[in-house]
Amino acid sequence: MSLPHAILTSLLEKPASGAELARRFEKSLGYFWSATHQQIYRELARLEEAGLIESSDRESTRGRQRHYSIRGSGRAELEQWSRAQEDPRPVRDALLVRLRAAAALGTVEVAEELRRHIGLHQGQLDTYLAIEHSDFPDGGSAEHPSARLQHAVLAAGIGYERAWLAWARDTLPTLPRDPVRTG
- pLDDT tens for 28-55 read 877 778 888 999 999 999 999 999 999 9
pLDDT > 60? residue 7? yes
11 burial (CB, 10 Å; 0-12 / 13-18 / 19+) is buried
Does the structure show a pLDDT above 60 at 26?
yes
Of how many residues is the chain composed? 183
More confident residue, 83 or 140: 83
Q: Which residue has the higher pLDDT, 125 or 86?
A: 125
Euclidean distance between CA atoms 100 and 32, whole angstroms: 26
Tens-place pLDDT, residues 59-96: 666 667 899 999 999 999 999 999 999 888 888 889 99
Concatenated DSSP letters of 97-158: HHHHHHHHHS----HHHHHHHHHHHHHHHHHHHHHHHHH-TTTT--SSHHHHHHHHHHHHHH
Tell me whether strands 16-17 and 53-60 are parallel, antiparallel or unpaired.
unpaired
CA neighbor of 77 nearest in space, from 45, 50, 102, 104: 50
Instruction: Determine phi and psi for 84, rounding to 5 degrees.
Output: -65, 150
Q: What is the predicted pLDDT for the residue at 63?
A: 66
The average pLDDT across 164-175 equals 95
Q: Is the pLDDT at 172 greater than 90, yes or no?
A: yes
pLDDT of residue 61: 62
The shares of helix, strand and coil residues in the chain, as percent rounded to the nearest 5, are: 65, 10, 25
Contact 77, 8 (CB under 8 A): yes
- Judge contact between 133 and 97, C-beta under 8 A: no
pLDDT at 15 (0 to 100): 93
